[in-house]
A and B are shown apart, each in its own frame.
Chain A
Amino acid sequence: MTAETTARPVDAEELRRRTAELLAAHPPATTERLDFLRARFAAGLAWVHFPEGLGGLGAPRALQAVVDEELAAAGAPDNDPGRIGIGLGMAAPTILRYGTEEQRQRFLPPLWTGEEVWCQLFSEPGAGSDLAGLATRAVRDGDSWVVDGQKVWTSGAHKSRWAILIARTDPDAPKHRGITYFLCDMTDPGVEVRPLRQITGEAEFNEVFLTGVRIPDSRRLGEVGEGWKVAQTTLMNERVAIGGNRIPREGGMIGVAAADWRERPELRTHDLHQRLLRLWVEAEVARLTGERLRQQLIQGQPGPEGSGMKLSFARLAQEISGWEVEFLAEDGLTYDSWTHTGSDVLSFTGREAGYRYLRAKGNSIEGGTSEVLLNIVAERVLGLPSEPRTDKDVAWKDLPR
């Protein structure tokens, strides 16, 4: 990079210029998809808010839209973000914040291009809302850690090359202090992935059994015993990823229900009409609340509203999809298929009403149950006192399980 280009401020105009350069050097029509994505990463146009040398230019995050628009207009391939959501939304920000320079250089480029897919090994059968109670053990053995345990609710485990993993490294410490964060190789022979069939009939998630999995200490992220702190970066991004995007009016589940109402006059009743109107108002207000939050963020005045958006989203998705099944009457009695294998990209508004109804049940559980989120709002936003706890200062091994 020349002195001239680094001296320029990275504003929208500069990003357009650099995007044009990228397109000129690697015309999408004659460049292999992967070659183009690698070139884009090298040019710092992958995620412009990331540092230089790691796919970004240290530019304001909002300017990513400028690059995306220019590239889309030129017919350039994207990195299929729906397929690598956990890598982009959860692993990447955590590796950026806590990774060594070597880890960042090793993992971020193929993560962004999609050459390496990531999954998350956090929840366990015995550690859901109380994630810090997790029991998967990692024992130091020379330059490695040996990991044994069981993880659950892992999406895309069978397609993933890497996983972000938290495991207990010190059972004698209180539970939040004995956890360490690792990057786990999913091709290791001790990793066994079993599909977990859910109430929709499909297996969107997996159980992952870890038996004597050896992880080199060089794939530890953050300090030993600091894993809980590192995981907060990951989890904060997950909660926002579910329910925080800008949508047009009738853009979500309510749009499907409203379309049903317009198309099926023979099914209308006064009761369903009244309930639909209430839901429509609530969905529109939830949309506006998300929009207001977005505007606050752009102005650099973040509000605590984000903590609540997922609560609204989950409740509305459930109520609206329940309304829809009832509205459809005889059609609501049927289900498209209990053996559906599912697609790579999850869509809450996809498939038929029965699927949407059942899938929405997960919205108030995944990424933090609504009950836990209400506690978070009450304690962190409203400043209400926490419940008395008996598990905070006790060695993890002495806690009842």
Chain B
Amino acid sequence: MTDQQTLADATASELPEGPDLLYSEPEDDLRAAVRSLLADRGGPAAVLAELEAGRTHDAALWRSLATDIGAAGLLVPEKLGGQGAGPREAAVVLEELGRAVTPVPYLTSAVLAVTALLGCDTGQDEVARLLAALAAGERIGVLALPLPTAPAGPLEPPVRAGADGALLGTVASVADAAAADVLLVPVRAADGIELYAVDTDAPGLHIETVTPLDLTRPLARVTFDGAAGRRLAGSDRAGAAVRRALLTGAGLLASEQLGIAEWCLTELVEYTKQRHQFGRPVGSFQALKHRMAALWLEVVSARAAARNAADALATDSADAPVAVAVAQAYCAPVAVRAAEECLQLHGGIGMTWEHPVHVFLKRAKSDEIALGAPGRHRASLAELVDLTAP
């Protein structure tokens, strides 16, 4: 008898069917395709070289990923020009993008912008056209909100629209704005928010890049100085659409964080097996081993939390807000700790620009703030699970 059998015994239970926390075969195939594509590009070393050369957005890679593999349309139903898959599959793509710290606007365009558009009236021409273009990877769309915006926080966009659709206001820290063809702009209205589309070449739109902590996710300050916007959704649905986009983005970001943590742990274990000091591999010292074993357990746990969030979003479960908040509160710090441990246990080489760990550290730290820092997600949980503040 094995421990596996003992645990399988636990099926004897009256609990309702739980979420599916595993990977399906098509999901494994998708992962293999994305991983192979990213490996062809050279992985973290190539990312570093691109960053050094000042190229933060890899357009050729985006075409391969978004169009050839079809990853940009995973969340979009086939009848709207997408692949008809869902958040579980997009999560797998994000795991791989995290593992390779790939500088592509996947989270921003294929997840956040696409989900916001899906929340609009897809029978409307402009919405359907945009959605099809984003799903095909032909155009890149970005939601014009500061990257740290949390799904459950107050939604008070700093942009207003004139009667003629001319937009006024400034949004800071918009991720991937410089790579975008179109911005989806939440605009403050008298009775909530509305959603507008603005082409990035429109007169009256200024996109100023800023120097980001994480070079692989470029940030910009976007100023609307009378740029012409086309209204995609009114206050009857725009608020819900944007919130759903933020919830989906936050939930799937956990999978990117998982990918980051996995790379860091794998790299760390390989390095400490090879690196000799005091006449033995440093990975044989208990003081280091225990830290890596503890990190492994956190990565294993992060996988369960991330899969749970992806599944809750995919099944449109009523539990999705809890699942997403748990995943973000848990996975964000795990990615950061994995990168920090990876750096520390490498010793001096970990502190060099030459070694790729700093790219993962910067992505992990920036991801921790993105779509709500862990504390914000714990604060949402306090309300959701009835553990109210004093």
A interacts with B = yes
With contacts A294-B11, A385-B280 taken as known, whether A374 is within 8 angstroms of B293 at the C-beta atoms is yes
Nearest-neighbour CB distance to chain B for A92, whole angstroms, equals 8
Asked if A354 is at the interface (CB within 8 A of a chain B CB), the reply is no
Determine whether the beta carbon of A262 is less than 8 Å from that of B387: yes
Asked if B297 is at the interface (CB within 8 A of a chain A CB), the reply is yes
Q: In the complex, which of the residues A284, A386, A387 contacts B326, with contact meaning CB atoms closer than 8 Å?
A: A284
Asked if B60 is at the interface (CB within 8 A of a chain A CB), the reply is no
Asked if B55 is at the interface (CB within 8 A of a chain A CB), the reply is no
Determine whether the beta carbon of B6 is less than 8 Å from that of A384: no
Nearest-neighbour CB distance to chain B for A40, whole angstroms, equals 15
Residues of A within 8 A of B379 (CB): 277
Residues of B within 8 A of A382 (CB): 269, 289, 292-293, 296
**How many angstroms between the C-alpha atoms of A246 and B6 in the bound complex?**
12
A window 107-166: CB within 8 A of B: none
Determine whether the beta carbon of B3 is less than 8 Å from that of A240: yes
Choose the segment among B16-24, B86-94, B144-152 that binds chain A (4+ C-beta atoms closer than 8 Å): B16-24
Q: In the complex, which of the residues A273, A291, A379, A383 contacts B387, with contact meaning CB atoms closer than 8 Å?
A: A273
Choose the segment among A31-39, A214-222, A306-314 that binds chain B (4+ C-beta atoms closer than 8 Å): A306-314
- In the complex, how many residues of chain A place their beta carbon closer than 8 angstroms to a beta carbon of chain B? 73
Interface of chain A, helix or strand or loop or mixed? helix
**How many angstroms between the C-alpha atoms of A266 and B12 in the bound complex?**
40
A window 245-263: CB within 8 A of B: 245-246, 248, 258, 261-262
Determine whether the beta carbon of A293 is less than 8 Å from that of B18: no
Residues of B within 8 A of A61 (CB): 5, 8-9
Determine whether the beta carbon of B301 is less than 8 Å from that of A289: yes
Residues of B within 8 A of A187 (CB): none
**How many angstroms between the C-alpha atoms of A381 and B269 in the bound complex?**
11
Nearest-neighbour CB distance to chain B for A287, whole angstroms, equals 9
Asked if A366 is at the interface (CB within 8 A of a chain B CB), the reply is no
**How many angstroms between the C-alpha atoms of A303 and B308 in the bound complex?**
17
Residues of B within 8 A of A292 (CB): 21-22, 303-304, 307
**How many angstroms between the C-alpha atoms of A286 and B302 in the bound complex?**
9
**How many angstroms between the C-alpha atoms of A242 and B390 in the bound complex?**
35
Asked if B129 is at the interface (CB within 8 A of a chain A CB), the reply is no
Determine whether the beta carbon of B296 is less than 8 Å from that of A308: yes
Determine whether the beta carbon of B8 is less than 8 Å from that of A298: yes
Determine whether the beta carbon of B386 is less than 8 Å from that of A262: yes
Measured CB to CB, the nearest residue on chain A to B386 is A262
Determine whether the beta carbon of A97 is less than 8 Å from that of B1: yes
Q: In the complex, which of the residues B285, B289, B382 contacts A374, with contact meaning CB atoms closer than 8 Å?
A: B289
Interface residues on B, range: 35 or more
Determine whether the beta carbon of B10 is less than 8 Å from that of A246: yes
Contact pattern, B 355-390, Cβ under 8 Å of A = 1, otherwise 0: 000000000000000000000001101100111011
**How many angstroms between the C-alpha atoms of A241 and B20 in the bound complex?**
24
Nearest-neighbour CB distance to chain A for B286, whole angstroms, equals 6
**How many angstroms between the C-alpha atoms of A12 and B304 in the bound complex?**
29
Determine whether the beta carbon of B15 is less than 8 Å from that of A246: yes
Q: In the complex, which of the residues A237, A276, A301, A377 contacts B297, with contact meaning CB atoms closer than 8 Å?
A: A377
**How many angstroms between the C-alpha atoms of A97 and B330 in the bound complex?**
41
Contact pattern, A 218-250, Cβ under 8 Å of B = 1, otherwise 0: 000000000000000100110111001110100
**How many angstroms between the C-alpha atoms of A92 and B286 in the bound complex?**
35
Asked if A285 is at the interface (CB within 8 A of a chain B CB), the reply is yes
Known contacts A265-B390, A292-B307, A297-B5; 11 further A-B pairs (Cβ under 8 A): A240-B6, A282-B330, A286-B301, A288-B307, A291-B19, A295-B20, A311-B294, A378-B290, A381-B296, A382-B289, A387-B285
Residues of chain A touching chain B, judged by Cβ–Cβ distance below 8 Å, are 49, 61-62, 64-65, 68-69, 89, 92-93, 96-97, 233, 236-237, 239-241, 244-246, 248, 258, 261-262, 265, 268-270, 273-274, 276-278, 280-282, 284-286, 288-289, 291-299, 301-303, 305-306, 308, 311-312, 371, 374-375, 377-379, 381-388
- List the 6 shortest-distance A-B pairs measured between CB atoms, nearest first: A93-B1, A65-B12, A268-B390, A378-B289, A377-B293, A292-B21
22 A-B residue pairs with CB within 8 Å = A62-B8, A89-B6, A236-B2, A239-B3, A240-B6, A244-B6, A261-B387, A273-B389, A274-B378, A277-B381, A280-B381, A289-B301, A291-B21, A305-B300, A306-B7, A311-B294, A374-B294, A375-B286, A377-B293, A378-B290, A384-B269, A386-B284
Residues of chain B touching chain A, judged by Cβ–Cβ distance below 8 Å, are 1-13, 15, 18-22, 269, 272-273, 280-281, 283-286, 289-290, 292-294, 296-297, 300-305, 307-308, 326, 329-330, 378-379, 381-382, 385-387, 389-390
